[in-house]
Amino acid sequence: MRSVTAIITRHHDAFSVRSEIRSPLNVISVSSVNSQRSAMPRLSHDEYYLQMLDLVAARSTCPRRAVGAIIVDSRNRVLSTGYNGPPRGRGHCIDSPCPGRDDAAGDSDRCEAVHSEINALLQCGDIERASTIYVSCSPCFACAKAIANTNIRRVVCRELYRDMRGRDLLLALDIILDIQPRS
């Protein structure tokens, strides 16, 4: 098991940060890790948020598909996150499956889950600042309509959703749909 310890000290009106990664066998200075990492390129904002989507989607309780969404502002600051799951007060589908659990891919008529995009929009405390939404897959038609009614003008996702009506709506409204598959 590893833990990260950050030690911040003040030296003559300047701050110094020393971090260590502790594991049962050794202590590694972050400065040595950073010197090894310097040869690696820094992740772009898109790569960073697309990788974060996996963590957000891991909170989903839908057995059909785990989807995450992250809304950021024009300065690439996270405003909110969301994942697909049941409405408040309903049981989680992993414990008590909803009627749509076995429906065909792309058919969500009987699915009781609130989609990740809607949850992220509902959780966003300052929707007026929203600029970009990162989503595991392109929005369905209902989610695309909700996104279109915000200031979000760019949707970044890993893959296309089977129902193309959401994609078509976003494109018709000049909202950028940026598909970035896993490499």
Which residues on adjacent β-strands are paired with residue 132? 72, 154
Whether 20 sits among the annotated catalytic residues: the reply is no
Do residues 84 and 67 touch, judged by C-beta distance below 8 A?
yes
Amino acid at position 178, single letter: D
Residue 85: phi and psi, rounded to 5, are: -175, 175
The C-alpha atoms of residue 103 and residue 108 are separated, in whole angstroms, by 7
Question: Which one from 20, 47, 117, 128 is the annotated catalytic residue?
Answer: 117
The token pair at 112 is 């009781």
Which of left, alpha, beta for 25 (phi over 0: left; psi -120 to 50: alpha)? alpha
Show which residues are catalytic: 117
